[in-house]
Amino acid sequence: MVRNTSSSWGSLARAFHWVLGITIIGMIAYGWWMNHFPARADRFFYRSIHADIGYLVLLLTVLRLIWRGLNPTPALPANAPRWERIAARVSHGALYAVTILVATLGWAHSGARTPNYSDWFGLFHVPQITSPDKAAAAAYEDRHIFFAYALLALIVIHLVAALWHHFVRHDRVTARMIDGAPG
């Protein structure tokens, strides 16, 4: 089934979750690698690919939030304590907010540098949200990197919580994001 129910994630929500999760982890790893190899003539190319995928991550995250708003969110098990429900809500909200923040800071960095990374895979130019400014570009890049690490920390917390649900609680909270069966 495509849509969510009050007890299970639909196929589209699961697809958004896994595509974005794998892509974001890949982007963090790629960004780290990209910033730690020696300066080379093709550095702009690698950064441009990172930016192109970043624009896609931002678009998919917004579409995911719209889809989430149009569908019910499967409930946690009835025996889940109140603190766990609050922690789940806060951590998911933080994941979405920081993902959008990281992508937006990357977009701001693109517009503030010259040349920018607006050429999306050679197909069209992404409108930029900032103007060229070398000092601002450096500040946006620093914040982009800082919040990427914050996002990585949130992802680790999310993974630990998923493992805890699966191996300690033995509930279907984690499994239903894999198979879509009610939990």
What is the arithmetic mean of pLDDT over 10-26?
98
- pLDDT value for 182: 84
Q: Does a cis peptide bond (omega within 30 degrees of 0) precede residue 77?
A: no
Whether 76 and 146 have beta carbons less than 8 Å apart is answered as: no
Check pLDDT > 90 for residue 39. no
CA 98 to chain centroid: 8
82-98 pLDDT tens trace: 999 999 999 999 999 99
pLDDT at 40: 85
d(CA 157, CA 146): 17
71/2 Cα distance (integer angstroms): 10
Judging by beta carbons within 10 Å of its beta carbon (0-12, 13-18, 19+), is residue 83 exposed, middle or buried?
A: exposed
**63-86 pLDDT tens trace:** 999 999 999 999 999 999 999 999
CB 111, CB 128: distance < 8 Å: yes
Does 20 have pLDDT greater than 80?
A: yes
Short-list 119, 113, 151, CA closest to 134:
113
- The pLDDT tens digits for 99-119 are 999 999 999 999 999 999 999
Tokens representing 71 are 């569908």
On average, the pLDDT of the chain sits at 96
Q: What is residue 12's predicted lDDT score, i.e. its pLDDT? A: 97
Q: Which two tokens stand for residue 181?
A: 């069966």
